[in-house]
């Protein structure tokens, strides 16, 4: 547990939250600054700042909770869609340095934007980028 991490303190029961789901390794609770009704967070109970720091089995366990939680949030809120987001690093929008997923119900006209402008690339550039990624994966 990181003493200065609000999510660690929530997981430890030191800070109250409105729980949605909990097991031995993860906790889902309502976001206190929601972007939409039903905005829910899913966290690892262990402190990892970035998802790539997590052991594969712990990340997999967290990932296995996503489909059921996504379905429950969307259905409970009567939403037409749902954003499931996980940010790594301040530049990506990560506000709390603890691995977490956002479940944000969406309806037409909700005023929430989430469009990234697509860029064009050429095949050679894509191949070089894929090679660099594969090299780091060890494949």
Q: Establish whether 90 is a catalytic residue.
A: no
Model's pTM, two decimal places?
0.91
* Domains of the chain by start residue, with CATH: 6-137 (3.30.428.10)
Token pair in block for residue 117:
């402008």
Render pLDDT for 31-56 as a digit per residue (tens, 0 to 9): 999 999 999 999 999 999 999 999 99
Collect the ranges in the chain with pLDDT lower than 50.
none
pLDDT of residue 27: 98
pLDDT of residue 71: 97
Cα dist. 86→34, 82, 108, 115 in Å? 15, 13, 22, 16
Closest CA to 79 of 37, 18, 33, 32: 37
| Number of C-beta neighbours around residue 27 at 10 A | 21
User: Exactly one of 39, 98, 100, 102 is catalytic; which is it?
Assistant: 100
pLDDT of residue 117: 84
pLDDT of residue 47: 97
28 with 41: CB under 8 angstroms?
A: yes
Q: What is the DSSP string of 28-58?
A: EEE-SS-SSTT-EEEEESS--SSGGGS-HHH
pLDDT of residue 3: 75
| Number of C-beta neighbours around residue 109 at 10 A | 5
């Amino acid at each position: 547990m990181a003493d200065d991490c609000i999510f660690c303190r929530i997981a430890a029961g030191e800070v109250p939250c409105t729980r949605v789901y909990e097991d031995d390794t993860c906790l889902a609770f309502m976001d206190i600054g929601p972007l939409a009704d039903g905005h829910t967070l899913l966290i690892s109970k262990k402190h990892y700042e970035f998802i790539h720091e997590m052991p594969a089995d712990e990340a997999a366990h967290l990932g296995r909770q996503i489909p059921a939680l996504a379905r429950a949030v969307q259905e409970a809120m009567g939403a037409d869609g749902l954003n499931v987001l996980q940010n790594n690093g301040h530049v990506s929008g990560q506000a709390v340095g603890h691995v977490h997923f956002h479940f944000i119900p969406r309806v037409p006209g909700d005023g929430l934007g989430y469009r990234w402008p697509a860029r064009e690339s050429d095949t050679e550039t894509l191949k070089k980028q894929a090679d660099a990624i594969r090299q780091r994966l060890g494949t």
